[in-house]
Structure 1
Amino acid sequence: MHPRPTLRRLLPALLPLLAAVPAAAGEPASFIETFDRIDGKRWYISDGWTNGEHQNCTWSSRAVRVEDGILKLMYVPDTSGAGQHRCAEVQSDERFLHGTFEAKVRTNHRSSGINAAFFTYIGPVHKQPHDEIDFEILTRDTASVDLNTYVAGEPKNGTRVPLDPPSHEGWHVFSIQWEPERIRWFIDGKLVHEATETLPTADQKIFLSHWSTDVLTDWMGRFEPPAEPVALEVDWVAWTRPGETCQFPESVLCGAEE
């Protein structure tokens, strides 16, 4: 059994705090999602398509599961050699403009050509320009994570920072503080990157995904399918509305570097 984290034990006492300040009409309320189940009113599971020719796996609802309070986004290789690999993605139904986006994640593998990501996104499929804010673990090197934005389809503000321990050896809390005039990325409460120019402006959905490529080799490495199913594991996801303060102990808002 997976040991229950401190956050999960404290959650019953914390939920009233999240509800204490009502959201304005039409504005999402702050939330913590601990994945005792997949809430169909909050999350949509991608199923039955790919995002384009760069992706060599198909999103599958069968690759998304919850076990012992952990969301597992599986990557399931096709061992028959037919190339019918299955991968996993969930996305929020709601869209969010600014605020603090957080997730506690780890990978359980090191595999070239696979991407494990926590990010925000809106794009042409939503009849909007492509805007995005990213944490992306390229699992050929789990000791680093790529940070990036897209603004109107153009990559901006990109960098790569170390992860210690590597994501296949331990959990990390990824936090994005998105304000009108800056975006800050934090890992385990420590500021690792900041952008103040050419920022996204559209409200976006929250995504968690685990996928592979045959063609983006310069970035993600030569695709080498794992010998067995592997996972991006997610303990919790949270969003805190702009102006609200520390809502739960592991939040960056409870002690972020200024």
Structure 2
Amino acid sequence: MIKKTKKDETTMFKQSHSFLAAAAVVASLASPVFAQEGATGTSFVEEFDALNPAIWYVSDGWNNGTHQNCTWSKQQVKVDDGKLTLTFEQREAGERQFVCGEIQTKKRFGYGTYEVRMKTADGSGLNSAFFTYIGPTDKKDHDEIDFEVLGKNPAKVQLNQYVSAKGGNEKLVDVSGGANSEFNDYAFVWEKDRLRYYLNGQLVHEVTEPAKLPVNAQKIFVSLWGTDTLKDWMGAFSYSKPSTLQVDRIAFTAEGDACQWAGSVACILN
């Protein structure tokens, strides 16, 4: 047996401490939080007793480009009786003859379960969307994960994701009874190695191909907007009266956190 001196023990402690510190750094580099720099959002459930200004920003006074025929307006965003209502209607604002509504989170969110309970709008040329997005305005590549119901065919919801501005991952899923006739629950579970989409608690699509999985932390959006130009996708625009998208609940459950209410997709994950 070799006897250790005090100096030997001190040296061994320093080496052990350095090894543990290095291991901690490696572990942090491999964690989803580090992989998604800027993901500061934490788990929440928004049931719209009011529009929480600590969470939400209301889009107002601009449009997203020539494809969009309406101007975002805070007047089209209302919270009443526990529901968020976004409205599309004819009223001149900015460069457009129509106005529409959108809210987005102020913070960015990473891996976890994203959920919405909503009833979508009627009308060809309209898009009711629940999605996450980050892009050049935030000095990041364009990453996005979508649920979109087109007013031309509310019997289906379109799933899609963009990775570094590359899309083309669309999948249409049937919505029994129609997305515009009653409230339905839409959710996606975003993990480092897979993305799962759910409709009313049932798994309807899974993505595992690395090239099709977004990596950047994103903001959460819900919006109702229209187009005159994207006819092949959204149908010919035709306006007769205001249309509304109603939202009963939006939630995010961070990866590893406990589910937040009975019926949440986060409660059934394996």
The counterpart of 2:252, out of the listed 216, 220, 239, is 239
Residue 156 of structure 1 deviates from its aligned partner by: 4.1
Residue 20 of structure 1 corresponds to: none
Residue 231 of structure 1 deviates from its aligned partner by: 0.8
Residue 6 of structure 1 corresponds to: none
**Match status 1:249 vs 2:238:** no
Instruction: State the secondary structure of the residue aligned to 1:157.
Output: coil
Residue 216 of structure 1 corresponds to: 230
Residue 91 of structure 1 deviates from its aligned partner by: 0.2
The counterpart of 1:207, out of the listed 194, 209, 221, is 221
Residue 27 of structure 1 deviates from its aligned partner by: 4.2
Residue 122 of structure 1 corresponds to: 134
More helix by share: 2
Count of residues paired in the alignment: 231
Q: TM-score, normalised by structure 2?
A: 0.81
The counterpart of 2:201, out of the listed 185, 189, 198, is 189
Q: TM-score, normalised by structure 1?
A: 0.85
CA contact (8 A) 1:74 1:229 kept: yes
Q: Distance in 2 between matches of 1:54 and 1:147?
A: 20
Instruction: State the secondary structure of the residue aligned to 1:47.
Output: coil
Q: Distance in 2 between matches of 1:55 and 1:174?
A: 24
What residue identity is the alignment partner of 2:150? L
Residue 28 of structure 1 deviates from its aligned partner by: 2.9
CA RMSD of superposed structures (Å): 2.0
Instruction: State the secondary structure of the residue aligned to 1:142.
Output: coil
Gaps of 5+ in 2: 1-32, 34-38
Residue 83 of structure 1 deviates from its aligned partner by: 5.5
CA contact (8 A) 1:124 1:130 kept: yes
The counterpart of 1:140, out of the listed 142, 152, 169, is 152
What residue identity is the alignment partner of 2:223? S
The counterpart of 1:161, out of the listed 173, 178, 198, is 173
Residue 102 of structure 2 corresponds to: 89
Q: Distance in 1 between matches of 2:64 and 2:206?
A: 28
What residue identity is the alignment partner of 2:268? G
CA contact (8 A) 2:59 2:73 kept: yes
Gaps of 5+ in 1: 1-22
State the identity %: 45
Q: Distance in 2 between matches of 1:138 and 1:77?
A: 19
Runs of 4+ off more than 3 Å: none
The counterpart of 1:30, out of the listed 32, 39, 43, is 43
CA contact (8 A) 1:157 1:195 kept: no
CA contact (8 A) 2:102 2:223 kept: yes
Check 1:97–1:83 CA distance in 2 against 1; reply closer, same or farther (3 A cut). Answer: closer
Q: Deviations over 1:228-258 (max 9, x none)?
A: 22111000100001012322013112235x6
Residue 54 of structure 2 corresponds to: 41
Q: Distance in 1 between matches of 2:251 and 2:206?
A: 20
CA contact (8 A) 1:91 1:205 kept: yes
Residue 104 of structure 1 deviates from its aligned partner by: 0.3
